[in-house]
A and B are shown apart, each in its own frame.
Chain A
Amino acid sequence: MAGILDVPKPRINCSMLSQHINRPVCFLGRVEKVHSTGKTFTMLDGEGQTATVELNEPLEEELSGIVEVIGMVSNKGVLMATTYNILQEDKGIPFGLELYNEAVKVLHDFPQYYPFQVTTSS
């Protein structure tokens, strides 16, 4: 777990899963359906595409709404989750998933302005 938290984790949407196989990523979307085992669930991104997430242990709580998942993308394009956090929607203004998606696209369209790297201060 520590390993993944130290490295840059680009934010992606479903269309970018295939370009990030075996890499750590941050995926933010809306929970669609939780499997009965509680070990896997599907999520919708801002474009309406679905991604599948797998967990190490079954879920211990109700998962719904906007969730941010950090993990590795498997060969099959499934997100192997290391950790997740739920964004409270009852506070503040409603989360604009489509706008978030637009922002993610900007991040990837202009990598020269949004470099994904760790700068170490010497």
Chain B
Amino acid sequence: MMKLSEGAIEALANGNGWNDAILQLVNIRKIDGGSGPARFRVMMSDGRDTLSSFMLSTQLNFMAEENILAPNCICNLKRHVTNILKDGRRVVIILEIDVLKSANEVAGRIGDPTPYFDGQNKGLQQAPAPAPAPAPAPVPETRPLQQQNRNEVSRGYNRDLVKKAPPAMPVTPGGGSKVVPIASLNPYQSKWTVRARVTNKSSIRTWSNSRGDGRLFSMEIVDESGEIRVTAFNQEVDKFYSLIEVGKVYYVTKGSLKIANKQYTSVKNDYEMTLNGESTIIPCEDNCDVPMVQCDFIPIADLEKREKDAIVDVIGVCKSVDEVTRLTTKSNREVSKRTLNLMDMSGKMVSVTLWGEEAEKFDGSEQPIVAIKGAKLSDFGGRSISASFSSTLMINPDIPEAYKIRGWFDNEGHTVVGQSLTERRGTGIIGGIHIWKTLSEVKAEHLGHGDKADYFSCTATIVYLRKENCLYQACPSQDCNKKVIDQQNGMFRCEKCDKEFPNFKYRLILSANIADYGDNQWVTCFQESAEAILGQNAAYLGQLKDSNESAFDEVFQKANFNTLIFHNRVKLETYNDESRIKATVLSVAPVDHIEYIRRLMVNIRGLAAK
């Protein structure tokens, strides 16, 4: 029985040479080189340790192909060279080897060798060389490796081993072709591999229609040459969804390509990819060359020029943000929503709406830089942005544009008041930002004269409250506020509910005149705002009016000359050929002096700069 060179494996693994090592070949495996020659990976034993990081140099391929080298044969490693991989592990290239005893002359494994471990080689041993049918317990490399333990080291090793002489050429782990740029992908070639970073990943969406149920998720991947959208359906969702992590780099092979449906994405590629049963996705650890994200940011000022429903990339500073609200969709699903105001260096601002978990988790407290790739441009309120399920939301991204905006904002941008492209609706407060107007501006700018109502906020002082006819008798039903008719028989009739009631509830309609330094404005305050201004509820006031005139008057005296913040809606209304501007107070709030002063400072300095 030949004596193996015990200790040779350890030496070779550590880069110390060993001349004429007598080793037993444990396993040999062919690795498909694609367009190049095949490579053979060999596992050798010195009776004590085994090491699988041997590669047969191509000129010796014939020895493998002719079965001269076969499991169990004893060899003398006459010449070898050791390559060191990027991560420090070693590969022993067999340059010259003599078979001392052929496989059939050897009974079996000599000794009881165990895989050689040191820090470097741990990974090597954990990837037992997958072999064709006769070999024991293989893990086929070409299958997505998320099914085994995600040991980055072993996968990277496999990739590196198959490298040919120039180590710079990225070659895929087994069974693949060379890496091609994303920009070159097309439907007419099927054997390709790309190496790309995942820039976004959607959540799993399910659908149910007459043809059955399905699920899908989509992602976008980017490399040095470009980007492409990738979708996986049904089984591929199960296979790949948990494997993919945004920001990490993967090798992707054998997806199917088809013409892109540009409606759903801002990704610049004529094609998009669908993963199928043959596709593989394998994490790649050597990812420093792959760019982080590809975005084509549009200045917010240019959004006006783009068409509605366009898919765009935007970046800016989150100047302010609203609270999260929940609303119910048409399909009776509850969804969270949050609006924020994004401003860029053009000084223009736009409202951005976030949905779902993104809305809930968003924290705008530090005025972060927010970038959204693939956001939808809507004509809601003029122009506004919505993050769809396929958009990528990035907070303070590590990209040059973000740093530029951060620098601009910290130095001067924070004083810019910002001009929003998004009209105010509803309460006139979107994204936490009010449109502040002075009463003279309201008149000078003809607010309310357009087709739609205008909304604004102002700081003003109450100079007159009309106490006559400020209360009316309303229908006592829960949601009905219609004025009831006194039937004079102790009953009150509501036309809307078509019912009679023995009682009513008092409601307020308060006519008031408010003024600031420049002008005054007649406004109407309904229940909530009237009660806030008067500091009493309608029912109590009704009582006072009927019972204690002087106490009733006193309420109005006290409320007069208070200075408050008014949120108003103003609209031109036509009634019998007469058009009048009607202003309604939607809500009132006490003046926040600190915020008011800051705003005035910004305005003063802004005016001074002009």
Q: Which residues of A contact B (CB under 8 A)?
A: 93, 96, 99, 102-103, 106, 109-110
User: Which residue on chain B has the smallest CB distance to residue A92?
Assistant: B593
User: Which residue on chain A has the smallest CB distance to residue B594?
Assistant: A96
Flag if B594 contacts A93 (CB, 8 Å).
yes
CA–CA, A103 to B593, complex, Å?
Answer: 13
Given known pairs A109-B608, A110-B608, the reply for A102 and B594 (CB within 8 Å) is: no
User: Which residue on chain B has the smallest CB distance to residue A93?
Assistant: B593
Q: Interface with A: B98-106, B295-303, B565-573, B596-604, which one? A: B596-604
Q: Select which of A103, A109, A110 is within 8 A of B597 by beta carbon.
A: A103
User: Which residue on chain A has the smallest CB distance to residue B607?
Assistant: A110
CA–CA, A102 to B604, complex, Å?
Answer: 11
User: Which residue on chain B has the smallest CB distance to residue A94?
Assistant: B594
* Contact partners of A106 in chain B: CB under 8 A: 601, 604
* Contact partners of B608 in chain A: CB under 8 A: 109-110
Contacts A93-B594, A109-B608 known; list 7 others, CB within 8 Å: A93-B593, A96-B594, A96-B597, A99-B594, A99-B597, A103-B597, A110-B604
CA–CA, A110 to B600, complex, Å?
Answer: 14
Flag if A99 contacts B604 (CB, 8 Å).
no
CA–CA, A99 to B600, complex, Å?
Answer: 11
Q: Distance in Å from the Cβ of A89 to the closest Cβ of chain B?
A: 15
* Contact partners of B593 in chain A: CB under 8 A: 93
* Contact partners of B597 in chain A: CB under 8 A: 96, 99, 102-103
CA–CA, A14 to B340, complex, Å?
Answer: 40
CA–CA, A63 to B158, complex, Å?
Answer: 77
User: Which residue on chain A has the smallest CB distance to residue B605?
Assistant: A106
* Contact partners of B598 in chain A: CB under 8 A: 99
CA–CA, A103 to B594, complex, Å?
Answer: 12
* Contact partners of A110 in chain B: CB under 8 A: 604, 608
* Contact partners of B601 in chain A: CB under 8 A: 99, 102-103, 106
* Contact partners of A93 in chain B: CB under 8 A: 593-594
CA–CA, A103 to B597, complex, Å?
Answer: 9
0 or 1 for each of B320-363: is its CB under 8 Å from A? (1 = yes): 00000000000000000000000000000000000000000000
Q: List 11 A-B contacts (CB under 8 A).
A: A93-B593, A96-B594, A99-B597, A99-B601, A102-B601, A103-B597, A103-B601, A106-B604, A109-B608, A110-B604, A110-B608
CA–CA, A65 to B598, complex, Å?
Answer: 23
Q: Which of B598, B604, B608 neighbours the largest number of chain A CB atoms within 10 Å of its CB?
A: B604
0 or 1 for each of B472-510: is its CB under 8 Å from A? (1 = yes): 000000000000000000000000000000000000000
Q: Distance in Å from the Cβ of A120 to the closest Cβ of chain B?
A: 24
CA–CA, A117 to B344, complex, Å?
Answer: 43
User: Which residue on chain A has the smallest CB distance to residue B592?
Assistant: A93
CA–CA, A15 to B98, complex, Å?
Answer: 91
CA–CA, A109 to B533, complex, Å?
Answer: 38
* Contact partners of A99 in chain B: CB under 8 A: 594, 597-598, 601
Q: Distance in Å from the Cβ of A70 to the closest Cβ of chain B?
A: 23
Q: Distance in Å from the Cβ of A101 to the closest Cβ of chain B?
A: 11
CA–CA, A81 to B597, complex, Å?
Answer: 29
* Contact partners of B594 in chain A: CB under 8 A: 93, 96, 99
* Contact partners of A96 in chain B: CB under 8 A: 594, 597
Q: Distance in Å from the Cβ of A58 to the closest Cβ of chain B?
A: 36
* Contact partners of B604 in chain A: CB under 8 A: 106, 110
* Contact partners of A103 in chain B: CB under 8 A: 597, 601
Q: Which of B561-610 contact A (CB under 8 A)?
A: 593-594, 597-598, 601, 604, 608
User: Which residue on chain A has the smallest CB distance to residue B597?
Assistant: A99
CA–CA, A93 to B591, complex, Å?
Answer: 12
CA–CA, A59 to B597, complex, Å?
Answer: 34
Q: Distance in Å from the Cβ of B105 to the closest Cβ of chain A?
A: 91
Q: Which of A93, A99, A109, A110 neighbours the largest number of chain B CB atoms within 10 Å of its CB?
A: A99
